[in-house]
Structure 1
Amino acid sequence: MKIDKVIIQTLQMPLKFAFETSLGKLVEKDFLLIRLYADGVVGYGESVAMPYPIYNEETTGTVLHMLEKFLIPALMGRSIEHPDEVSQLFAFVRGNRMAKAALEGAVWDAYCKQKGISLARELGGTQSEIAVGVSLGIEPTVDKLLEKIDGYVRAGYKKIKVKIKKGWDIEVIRTIREEFGYDLPLMADANSAYSLDDIDHLQQLDPFKLMMIEQPLGHDDIIDHAKLQAQLSTPICLDESILSAEDARKAVELDACRVVNIKIGRVGGISEAKKVHDVCAAAGIPVWCGGMLEAGVGRAHNIAITSLSHFTIAGDTSASNRYWHEDIIAPEVILSRPGMLAVPEGAGIGYELNEKVIAKHVVAERIFE
């Protein structure tokens, strides 16, 4: 498969509601849509980087720079036998995993379209449907949060994730449990809002029988999470700390976590995400797919990776209308039944682009050939 041309479009799309975490608040998502042309097919990729370096060091701007100056030149005109080769071609660039993942995802899509096979099947996916949950940000009031949870419970979502921070944690979780009981699959995501000085405070979450508490300590830490896990009965899930399969191996060996959140962009692409999955499967550590407020292309890649056998916990890849007034793909991602998404069977990601929606939100375009 020879790469002939790449088009990058910058889009700005308003979210249906403000999404707030301990890191800040987003009301609009700017992202890059990638079209990769190879031997008569077009593969689609999406950058999941935020407009500001609040989740990791990357931004939409840095991703565009790395694509233009380093990653696209490394691919242009090359013949690729298999998408797994892309990570090796990009190895000369340190970090910049979201930039790498965006372009690698387009290669995977084009490769599968050439073979006439779905991305999920090519990856070895075994599930025809995947269970999904929702991620809820920090709301203006607890009552507003309870109202939203009630709506998603009624819609059949399989997991409720709530963002927490100091001052919005113990009593919030207590109120949720009092309102919905202990059968509700509930987890808390801290986005690195705590330190080891907060052990006594975090232990107050143990009685609420959460599925997990996600990334309570530093975004780049594994060691202190091992110390904290030893003091908690609640499983720790690592997100930001796991940048590769090697990170996953070390975290498992140190008992720094008992669950891993896999995000394609965070680990540098689909190939590495599958390796993280395999490491965790061998160790018996459950995994799930986290979300980065993806539009339709990124959402489709998440569905494909989640079809792998060891994704045993409902992920964050909810329906398109959860976040967007209209999505950039057709058809949009919809629930196949309450709390479930069907894994597309069509070639590649299984969705086409909705050019009318894209045209409304494109603010820039660059062509490389």
Structure 2
Amino acid sequence: MAPPTESLWPRLADLPLTVEACEYDRLHAAFPQDFERVTTHVRLIGAGVDGLGEDVSIHVEDGGSLHETQLELPLAGEWTLASFTDHLATLDPWVVPPEWEPARRWRNWAFESAALDLALRQAGRALHDVLGLEPQPVRFVNSLGLGEEPSADHVHRRLDRAPSVRFKLDAETTWSPELIDALAATGAVDTIDFKGHYGMEVKHPERLGALYDQLVAAFPDAYLEDPHDLPEITARLAGHVDRVSYDAPIHDADDIGATPLPARVVNVKPSRIGGVRELLEVYARCAAQQRPMYGGGMGELGVGRGQIELLAALFHPDAPNDVAPSVFHADDPADALPASPLPPRPDAIGFRWLT
């Protein structure tokens, strides 16, 4: 089933929404390399039910998270989903300004996804029902960095537990040719992420060109995500733009096609886009231009992970979606890992994925 080429926002915009209160809950998990992840559940309450979204903007608790500040915003009232999102755009949900400006979109997504969930629950309907789409099994990848001393062991441990799992790997100039060969031999890598649009310092920049040459050759079918915007890299990828994809530069529909390389593939991250209306416009633009899409997340720990899995099930199920269940985040995952594709598990009402 092809995704719709017109935005489905009109099917959601007029949903009635009653908001009486807002609460925040802290979520926490330990990730590999001693990385502590903290996010916040945003809970909107009204008419005897609640709606959930997840704010992924917190990397270190510095007094600015929603669960620390317990920020009170003027959200109560009778709305439509459209009028609520318009009202939300006039508010500043930040006591401490964010370190990264894109985090404003991440937090906005938490409130809008909670509002969407609440409006649907108050209506007694599910997202897929209102949109007129049938959820499909979701193909997913496990997104991985290979550590300070890169090793294919991270990949092999997961393949031993879940032979069907596929991978999105964060490329580093510290990768040796032998490591690249070992990764290619698995036949399980769908995406190479160069993270060339995050302003991150490149270790050993003199090796960057050779790294691209090696990876383009070793993974002839993999998507090449967020390549560095450098003349030498652009020249190396000139013959491979059909599999170049962009993630970090995509914030709304107008960013599609305005990327440094004329790439066709788009990684659609709901929290990066930041709004329900804008997200549906991105889906429609990609479908109208016949651009391959896949989904991505931002380290969600709670309801947000299921929400991006649900969106993938509706708009781009058979793609290398970076929406692996949270159990894959562990450095040494459990023996029983979910297989890909995930069977569709939309909740009977609301904007949630059953766990």
Q: TM-score range by the shorter chain?
A: 0.7 to 0.9
The 8 Å contact of residues 236 and 258 in structure 1, kept in 2 or not, is answered as yes
Corresponding position of 2:212: 202
Moved more, 90-99 or 227-236: 227-236
Corresponding position of 2:256: 248
Corresponding position of 2:79: 80
Deviation at 1:279, TM superposition (A): 1.1
2-structure distance, mates of 1:31, 1:146? 26
* Cα distance change on mapping 1:149 and 1:256 into 2, 3 Å: farther
Corresponding position of 1:176: 183
Corresponding position of 1:331: none
Root-mean-square deviation (CA, aligned residues, Å) is 3.5
* Cα distance change on mapping 1:352 and 1:144 into 2, 3 Å: closer
Task: For residues 206-234 of structure 1, give each alpha carbon's deviation from its aligned partner in whole angstroms, at most 9, with x where no partner exists.
Answer: 2221421211226xx9x998776435467
Deviation at 1:299, TM superposition (A): 1.0
Unaligned runs of 5+ residues in structure 2 are 1-16, 93-100, 332-336
2-structure distance, mates of 1:85, 1:230? 45
Matched, 1:239 2:250: no
Aligned partner letter, 1:102: A
Corresponding position of 2:193: 189
Deviation at 1:99, TM superposition (A): 1.0
Corresponding position of 1:258: 264
Q: Which of 34, 38, 43 is the matching residue for 1:35?
A: 43
Instruction: Tell me the percent identity.
Output: 22
1-structure distance, mates of 2:179, 2:242? 17
2-structure distance, mates of 1:62, 1:229? 41
Corresponding position of 2:30: 14
2-structure distance, mates of 1:259, 1:344? 26
1:9 is paired with a residue whose SS is strand
1:147 is paired with a residue whose SS is helix
1:205 is paired with a residue whose SS is helix
Deviation at 1:275, TM superposition (A): 1.7
Where do 1:150-161 residues align within 5 Å? 150-151=159-160, 154=163, 156-157=164-165, 159-161=166-168
2-structure distance, mates of 1:40, 1:317? 31
Corresponding position of 1:214: 225
Corresponding position of 1:356: none
Q: Which of 101, 109, 113 is the matching residue for 1:105?
A: 113
Where do 1:1-369 residues align within 5 Å? 1-15=17-31, 17-18=32-33, 27-52=35-60, 62=64, 64=66, 73-74=73-74, 76-82=75-81, 84-92=82-90, 96-139=104-147, 140-151=149-160, 154=163, 156-157=164-165, 159-168=166-175, 171-178=178-185, 180-181=186-187, 184-192=188-196, 198-199=208-209, 201-208=211-218, 209-217=220-228, 229-230=237-238, 232=240, 235-251=243-259, 255-323=261-329, 335=338, 338-350=340-352
Deviation at 1:242, TM superposition (A): 0.8
1-structure distance, mates of 2:317, 2:108? 23
* Cα distance change on mapping 1:143 and 1:239 into 2, 3 Å: closer
Aligned partner letter, 2:213: Q
The 8 Å contact of residues 253 and 282 in structure 2, kept in 1 or not, is answered as yes
Deviation at 1:136, TM superposition (A): 1.8
Corresponding position of 1:328: none
Task: For residues 80-138 of structure 1, give each alpha carbon's deviation from its aligned partner in whole angstroms, at most 9, with x where no partner exists.
Answer: 212x4444334446851011011111101111111222233334433232112211222
Unaligned runs of 5+ residues in structure 1 are 19-25, 53-58, 326-333, 354-369
Deviation at 1:347, TM superposition (A): 0.9
TM-score by length of 1: 0.73
Corresponding position of 1:366: none
Corresponding position of 2:3: none
The 8 Å contact of residues 123 and 308 in structure 1, kept in 2 or not, is answered as no
* Cα distance change on mapping 1:311 and 1:63 into 2, 3 Å: farther
The 8 Å contact of residues 40 and 67 in structure 2, kept in 1 or not, is answered as no
